[in-house]
C-alpha cells in the first residue's frame, strides 16, 4: 500500500457524497478506504448515508405535504448557509 496522508473524520464526512457517486480521484479513494478500515464510527455514518439516499430516492415531491416540503427546504437552506 502506498504512503497516503491520513484522513480526518471531518474530511471523511465532507467527501461521503463524492465517494458514493464515484467522483473522487484514486488517491482520495485510497485515503477514504483506509480511514474506514480504522474508524468504525465513519463506517456507520457511511452506512446511514447510503440508507438515507436509498430511502429518499424513492420520495417524489408530489408525495410530500406542503408542510414537509417547506420544512425540508428550510433545513437545506439553513444547511447550505453554513
The predicted pLDDT at position 28 comes to: 96
The pLDDT assigned to 77 comes to: 79
pLDDT digits 0-9 by tens, 42-61: 999 999 999 988 888 777 88
**Domain extents in the chain:** 9-80
- Per-block mean pLDDT, blocks of 10 residues, the chain (82 long): 80 95 95 96 96 83 87 77 57
**CA 77/CA 72 separation, integer angstroms:** 8
Q: At what angle do helices 9-21 and 40-56 cross, to 10 degrees?
A: 40
pLDDT at 49: 94
pTM of the model: 0.68
Amino acid at each position: 500500500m502506498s504512503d497516503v496522508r491520513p484522513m480526518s473524520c471531518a474530511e471523511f464526512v465532507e467527501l461521503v457524497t463524492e465517494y458514493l457517486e464515484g467522483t473522487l480521484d484514486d488517491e482520495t479513494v485510497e485515503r477514504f478506504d483506509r480511514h474506514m478500515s480504522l474508524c468504525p464510527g465513519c463506517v456507520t455514518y457511511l452506512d446511514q448515508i447510503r440508507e438515507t439516499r436509498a430511502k429518499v430516492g424513492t420520495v417524489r415531491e408530489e408525495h410530500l405535504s406542503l408542510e414537509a416540503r417547506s420544512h425540508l427546504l428550510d433545513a437545506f437552506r439553513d444547511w447550505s448557509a453554513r
